[in-house]
């Protein structure tokens, strides 16, 4: 099964300082048929204005991943972390038994980031934090692993989920074959450009949700960038 979900189906929340596009039910948007995909519970495409940001707030029992595409974000939390995550860097926060944090754009330039939440593979984890500069934005024509909980890889961020997040910068006419299994799920989100995914046309900000297949064949019909998430098929529900 492969489903193409057009960009127009995303929920748009505008707060002046924040433009956010929700791929799943979040905040004031609730669709009982669109709550999660495997353990992926939240995927927000956020544009944050200069000199603004999210005030301190609390989370628990969630793996929170931030991927910065443009600009930089300052992170502070109740664990004592006070860091800056720049474009090409990835952050993971295990909320676990409870953590408070704030995210601000203290620069004079707008900020573009993805925030993804995963239901963890175990409850009651101690809160923790990890951040890496992976320089994924400039790599060409291959899937770059950013975050994984499936296997030990160098230069990636660890997550408490049997999932992996990849980023690709695919030149026009190039192809990538991603091998998967019918028991797993995939989600592909197009950042820029246009693709064919298993022969189906996908454009900027469209998403592909796939299950019960053996492979994704991805071909760029224009220079393109995208995120690909490999997920367990069983949905966590706690």
Rounded average pLDDT over 193-216: 98
117-164 pLDDT, tens digit each:
999 999 999 999 999 999 899 889 999 999 999 876 778 999 999 999
Q: Which domains does the chain have, with CATH numbers?
A: 2-232 (2.60.120.10)
Q: Would the pLDDT of 18 be above 90? A: yes
Q: Would the pLDDT of 209 be above 80? A: yes
Give the CA count within 13 Å in the CB-facing half-sphere of 193. Answer: 22
Report which DSSP code applies to 107.
Answer: S
Calculate what percentage of the chain has a pLDDT beyond 70: 98
Rounded average pLDDT over 100-106: 95
Calculate what percentage of the chain has a pLDDT beyond 90: 91
Rounded average pLDDT over 167-181: 97
Predicted model pTM: 0.95
User: Would you list the DSSP string of 162-192?
Assistant: S-EEEEEEE-TT-EEEEE--TTEEEEEEEEE
- Look up tokens 């664990």; give the residue: 79
Greatest Cα pair distance, the chain, in angstroms, is: 48
pLDDT at 153: 73
pLDDT at 151: 78
Q: Would the pLDDT of 237 be above 60? A: no
């Amino acid at each position: 099964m492969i489903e193409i979900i057009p960009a127009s189906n995303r929920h748009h929340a505008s707060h002046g300082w924040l433009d956010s596009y929700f791929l799943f039910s979040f905040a004031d948007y609730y669709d009982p048929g669109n709550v999660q995909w495997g353990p992926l519970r939240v995927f927000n495409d956020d544009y944050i204005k200069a000199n603004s940001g999210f005030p301190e707030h609390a989370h628990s029992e969630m793996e929170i991943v931030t991927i910065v595409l443009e600009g930089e974000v300052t992170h502070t939390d109740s664990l004592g972390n006070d860091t800056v995550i720049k474009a090409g860097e990835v952050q993971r926060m295990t909320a676990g038994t409870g953590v408070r944090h704030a995210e601000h754009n203290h620069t004079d330039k707008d900020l573009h980031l993805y925030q993804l939440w995963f239901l963890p593979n175990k409850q009651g984890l101690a809160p923790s934090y990890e951040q890496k500069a992976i320089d994924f934005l400039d790599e060409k024509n291959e899937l770059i692993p950013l975050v994984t909980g499936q296997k030990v890889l160098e230069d990636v961020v660890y997550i408490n989920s049997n999932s992996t997040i990849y980023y690709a910068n695919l030149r026009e006419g190039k192809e990538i074959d991603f091998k998967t299994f019918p028991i797993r799920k995939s989600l592909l989100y197009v950042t820029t450009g246009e693709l064919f995914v298993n022969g189906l046309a996908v454009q900027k900000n469209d998403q592909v949700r796939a299950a019960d297949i053996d492979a994704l064949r991805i071909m760029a019909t224009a220079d393109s960038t995208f995120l690909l998430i490999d997920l367990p098929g069983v949905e966590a529900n706690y």
